Structure 1
Amino acid sequence: MAAALAADEVQPLDIQNLAINDSTFNRLLTRLALKTWGRLYKSDGFCSPISRKKIVKTGPYVHLTEAATMRYIAENTSIPVPRVHCAFAHKGRSFIVMERIHGEEIPAAWNRLGEEGRAKIFAQLKGMIEEMRFLEPPPGTGVQSCVGGSLYDSRMNRNETRFGPFATIQDFHIWLRKGFRSTDRTQSSNLESSEEKQLEEMEAMQDGPWPHPVFTHADLNPSNILVRGEEVVGIIDWEFAGWYPHYWEYTSAWFGNLVRTGWQDCLSRFLETFPAEFEMEKTRNKWWGEF
């Protein structure tokens, strides 16, 4: 069995330890702002602006781990992320008050940028990803959040709201394939020989030795990258982020943008590609995919 804790086992610990600038005043002001000034602005999903400079993220799937992640990235890299003003939990719901970065999402800026501007943007993104790759995982780090806790990915086809942490990358892989073993004939008896071969190769690679995990945003879709002119001014939406296998940034960006084929074609301009791991993930997605 994969060495993972159930989400409800890690949630209370995460909530207790991850509050930032939590005070009665900040709690009251945040909730008051949402009911008053927040109504003057248009919300975007779970994010509600409360002024020109601040935005509040709250909702059933928002977790304080995201606030801890943004603070971790801000303290250890030069990657532009929203500054977290405060973060707290109230009646089972998390609230993150953060900087409101003003910029265009890449799709809105695409035509204006032109090829030269896009090349500059991709060069900046490549440098930012390399910075993340230089972050050293603490000893014994498996697949986990920046604080060693559970992870979240809305694309996962699972009953759990959150998942992990996993002691090893191999445990994570076993969880992804729902415990499948090719030696279990009851699970593979109806497969064609070519399918059996694909699954055996996937399993062998997943269970094999792996380098240490790397810190990963895990949701690099073009709407999560903000630009101003030809400068990247913000990488946002860090709720999926954590320590993952080295290939996960690329494959999660590729499979997470199935309807954005143009963006898929751009990934190699700022992300390292992993052809063998991509084929492994292609097989995994075919049988246990998120989509």
Structure 2
Amino acid sequence: MPAPLPTTAEILASREYLKGVEAWADRKVVGVGEHFIVKYGAHNDQIEGDNLLFLEQNNCGEFAPRLYAMWKAEDGKLYLVMERLRGKTLECLWPALREAEKSMILSKIKMLFTKLHAIPHRGFFGSVDKSHMPHHLFYWPDPKAQISGPYQNERSLFQGLIAKSRLIAEQNRRQSHLADFFEQCLSRDLVVDNRPPVFTHSDLQRKNLLIERDEKDKSCLSIKLVDWESAGWYPVYWEYVAAFFAFKWDDDWCTRVSYIIDAWPAEAAMMKMIYQDLWF
């Protein structure tokens, strides 16, 4: 522990907002002192803290901020006190990087994801505590609908997304022809029986990669991955698919992701169609 943990009062008094500066925001991220970043709020999800602990237990803790403490206050707010990381985001650095620098950084990020994806699977698709699929695409307010998972195989996972499409169509008083198309035409390409799940960060974006460079030796890099709230067990193509969802198509990043992880362009295009139906 680099310093005494901040108190709740110190956390609430911080005005170093990294996220949630708006008064109405129910989830906030603040800096507290030299050593800590704190996420807190009534709708903060414990899954990120669980994921950070899971990484430590599986020898992947060097990729992520260290979790120092996690607690729920009497008012229902969940607090996650994490290590304050140094460096700049890859999003900030990218425009000024030379080709050789990009290649070096991408190769190091690839090593990170290769080790992450090699964590032995647990035989289900869902969060590390086996409660639900953490990615927002699987969110549904009524747990009885069984859309959020967890799932035992890819086929039941895909059926969950189709069920969500049908419920959305029903709420909007329209026929579920699009869900019929998903089921009849896409499932044969997106579902592979007995294919094991892969532990996935599920939000590979440059803003979530922190790069700290040694001023004396530019080739010496420390790379950390942040925002683990969507991580869990997903189909093998999901890391690429989730990155694809966030592509802005305004620079070369969209073609460089395949330097880090396996590209699944056909699966990404099909899942983007489903995403647009379920999230827009």
* TM-score for the superposition, normalised by structure 2: 0.78
Mapping of 1:1-291 within 5 angstroms? 29-36=6-13, 38-39=14-15, 41-45=16-20, 46-78=28-60, 79-90=62-73, 91-138=75-122, 141-154=123-136, 158-159=140-141, 163-178=148-163, 187-188=176-177, 200-229=184-213, 231-258=221-248, 262-286=252-276, 288-291=277-280
- How far, CA to CA, are the matches of 1:157 and 1:167 in structure 2? 18
Structure 2, unmatched stretches of 5+, are 21-27, 167-174, 214-218
* Residue identity in the other structure for 1:290: W
Task: Tell me: CA distance 1:31–1:289, structure 2 relative to 1, closer, same or farther (3 Å).
Answer: same
DSSP 3-state at the match of 1:219: coil
Deviations along 1:225-256, whole A, 9 cap, x unmatched?
Answer: 00012524310000000000000000110112
Task: Tell me: CA distance 1:290–1:266, structure 2 relative to 1, closer, same or farther (3 Å).
Answer: farther
Offset at residue 126 of structure 1 (A): 0.7
* Residue identity in the other structure for 2:65: P
Offset at residue 207 of structure 1 (A): 4.6
Q: Is the 8 A contact 1:62 1:239 kept in 2?
A: no
Task: Tell me: CA distance 1:198–1:75, structure 2 relative to 1, closer, same or farther (3 Å).
Answer: closer
- Where relative contact order (Cα < 8 A, 6+ residues apart) is larger, the structure is 1
- How far, CA to CA, are the matches of 2:19 and 2:176 in structure 1? 43
Q: Is the 8 A contact 2:165 2:278 kept in 1?
A: no
Q: Is the 8 A contact 2:138 2:148 kept in 1?
A: no
- How far, CA to CA, are the matches of 2:148 and 2:98 in structure 1? 40
The residue number in structure 2 matching 1:13 is none
Offset at residue 208 of structure 1 (A): 4.2
* Residue identity in the other structure for 1:176: L
Number of residue pairs the alignment of both structures matches: 252
Root-mean-square deviation (Å): 2.9
* Residue identity in the other structure for 1:220: L
Offset at residue 125 of structure 1 (A): 0.9
- How far, CA to CA, are the matches of 1:118 and 1:102 in structure 2? 19
* Residue identity in the other structure for 2:7: T
Structure 1, unmatched stretches of 5+, are 1-24
- How far, CA to CA, are the matches of 1:31 and 1:260 in structure 2? 42
* Residue identity in the other structure for 1:32: A
- How far, CA to CA, are the matches of 2:128 and 2:48 in structure 1? 9
* Residue identity in the other structure for 1:82: P
- The 4+ residue runs of structure 1 with deviation greater than 6 A are 195-198
Q: Is the 8 A contact 1:142 1:243 kept in 2?
A: yes
Offset at residue 158 of structure 1 (A): 4.4
- How far, CA to CA, are the matches of 2:37 and 2:11 in structure 1? 9
Offset at residue 285 of structure 1 (A): 3.0
Offset at residue 156 of structure 1 (A): 5.6
Identical aligned residues as a percent = 24
Q: Is the 8 A contact 2:109 2:223 kept in 1?
A: no
DSSP 3-state at the match of 1:34: helix
* TM-score for the superposition, normalised by structure 1: 0.76
